[in-house]
Amino acid sequence: MKNMMTTIVAMAFGATLGLSGCKKEATCETVAPKIKECVPQAKDESAEELAGECKKMVEKRPDMLKNMGECMDKPCAEFLTCLEKAEEASRKGERLEKITKATAAKDWKDVAYVCDSILEKKTDDDLVKACNELAKAAYADLGAKMTALKTELKEDKDYQCMTYEKYAEMVSADDATKAKALCEEVRAAGRAGEQVGEVKKAIETKDFKSASYTCQSALEKKDNPTLVKECEAFAKAASESLTADLTKLRDELKKDEKFSCFDLEKYGKMISEDEGKKAKTLCDELGKADDVAKALAAVAKVKTEGAADADKANVPFECNYTIEGLEKIGTEWAKTQAATLAKACYVELGAVVLEKNATDEEMKYSCNFRAKEVFEGLKKHGLKDPSLDKFLTSEAVKAKCAEFLPQ
């Protein structure tokens, strides 16, 4: 209740300053009863309490009781209305000065809502005129600033657009619509500016995943030339960097543990359809590189174990499976790997397999199935080697395996 009482006292006393009507001498003791009489919220307060609140305010504003106006002589039915009008009148000079200073200093923020209220009520022509002039000046000045922010892709960190839109509404409905549209563009430009910074940092640090989605979206929409330009550079840098990394992995016959191929294909497509296809081809090769490594490891194991045990001397299934996969890819790298693996499987390992399985004993009834695999591989891939001649010219082999032997 005390806060409410303070407000009532402030309204009553503050409103009566500067009026041109009857200028009676007044004290807090003489004014308090009028407030108690006419203001319903003060009915339960004593005149002494109201006078006490008044005195506290007088300490802060010594001139408060200087000019008591006509409101004190009004009947209660007109008292509050009179106070409202008096409040506007008492603050006129202060407001005019504040508006004038703000216009000169281009300090628009603090007076926006003051003028909004003045232009809504339109109770004083001088204040309305001052606010109209202020609004036009603010609208022009802030409009230029907003346009600059939009052009420079800078963020509206001071939230000036809210003030700009408020002044635009004061100027005209048409200007309010224009301001709203410009502010939307400024906000979009601010976001784009942040994204440009994000993309530049990603290129600098090679943390390409951090800006991947941003650039994918920007290059699809193409609604911001500056961001599009940065994203084109981003896609090129990301593609080149990942291509180098994945080519190294491929040549070392290592696996794509980080699943970077997904990103490489995405970056390639950002550049062009052809770059997307190149990325896919490299990824296909990389996918087979691990298979080649596994096949070579299997060959090495069988060479060791097969030399001691005829039952283990056979061409592992990884050989044919991997070679067929490489042939489907068909690139120079794939052809080279296929040739290398075929030699390892059917010549180098083949010698071990044939040593154990191309004997007269093993060929006694039919072509030994382990030896047959080697012969078929040699024939299919057009392989020859002096180390294999003794097996290929064996009478037992020729008798049982003639149709599988290379020419």
Domain ranges of the chain: 1-91, 106-198, 291-407
Question: In the block, which residue shows the tokens 């650039």?
Answer: 215
Report the 10 Å Cβ neighbour count for 58.
Answer: 15
pLDDT confidence of residue 375: 95
Is pLDDT above 60 for 19?
no
Q: Give CA separation, 65 vs 7, 22, 31, 238, 369, in Å.
A: 16, 13, 9, 75, 120
> In which band, very low, low, confident or very high, does the pLDDT at 17 lie, cut at 50, 70 and 90?
very low
Q: With beta carbons less than 8 A apart as the criterion, state whether 17 and 64 touch.
A: yes
CA distance 104 to 182: 25
Buried b vs exposed e over 328-364: b needs ≥16 C-beta within 10 Å?
ebeeebbeebbeebbbbbbbebbbbbbbbbbbeebbe
pLDDT at res. 39 = 83
- Give the count of beta carbons closer than 10 Å to the beta carbon of residue 139: 25
Give me the pLDDT at residue 25, please. Answer: 52
Sign of CA dihedral 127, 128, 132, 135: positive
pLDDT at position 63: 54
CA dist 124 and 137 (Å) reads 20
Q: Does residue 108 contact residue 141 with C-beta atoms inside 8 Å?
A: yes
**pLDDT by residue (tens digit) across 193-218?**
889 999 999 999 999 999 999 999 99
Instruction: State how far the Cα of 299 lies from the Cα of 340, in Å rounded to an integer.
Output: 12
Q: How far is CA 260 from CA 253, 294, 306, 327, in A?
A: 15, 21, 38, 24
| Phi, psi torsion values for 156, nearest 5 degrees | -85, 75
3-state SS string over the chain?
A: CHHHHHHHHHHHHHHCCCCCCCCECCCHHHHHHHHHHHCHHHCCCCHHHHHHHHHHHHHHCCCCCCCECHHHHCCHHHHHHHHHHHHHHHHHHHHHHHHHHHHHHCCCCCCHHHHHHHHHHCCCHHHHHHHHHHHHHHHHHHHHHHHHHHHHCCCCCCCHHHHHHHHHHHHCHHHHHHHHHHHHHHHHHHHHHHHHHHHHHHHHHCCHHHHHHHHHHHHHHCCCHHHHHHHHHHHHHHHHHHHHHHHHHHHCCCCCCCCHHHHHHHHHHHHCHHHHHHHHHHHHHHHHHHHHHHHHHHHHHHHHHHCCCHHHCCCCHHHHHHHHHHHHHCCHHHHHHHHHHHHHHHHHHHHHHHHHHCCCCCCCCCCCHHHHHHHHHHHHHCCCCHHHHHHHCCHHHHHHHHHHCCC
How far is 279 from 120, CA to CA, in rounded Å? 64
CA distances, 209 to each of 198, 262, 272 (Å): 11, 11, 19
Q: What pLDDT shows up at residue 8? A: 54
Average pLDDT, the chain: 87
* Residue 42 in this model has a pLDDT that exceeds 50: yes
Q: What is the mean pLDDT of residues 362-375?
A: 94
Res 401 pLDDT > 90: yes
pLDDT of residue 352: 94
| pTM of the model as a whole | 0.63
Q: Is the confidence at residue 54, as pLDDT, over 90? A: no
CA neighbor of 76 nearest in space, from 43, 54, 48, 46: 43
Give the model's confidence band at 317: pLDDT under 50 very low, under 70 low, under 90 confident, else very high: very high
Q: What is the pLDDT of residue 153?
A: 85
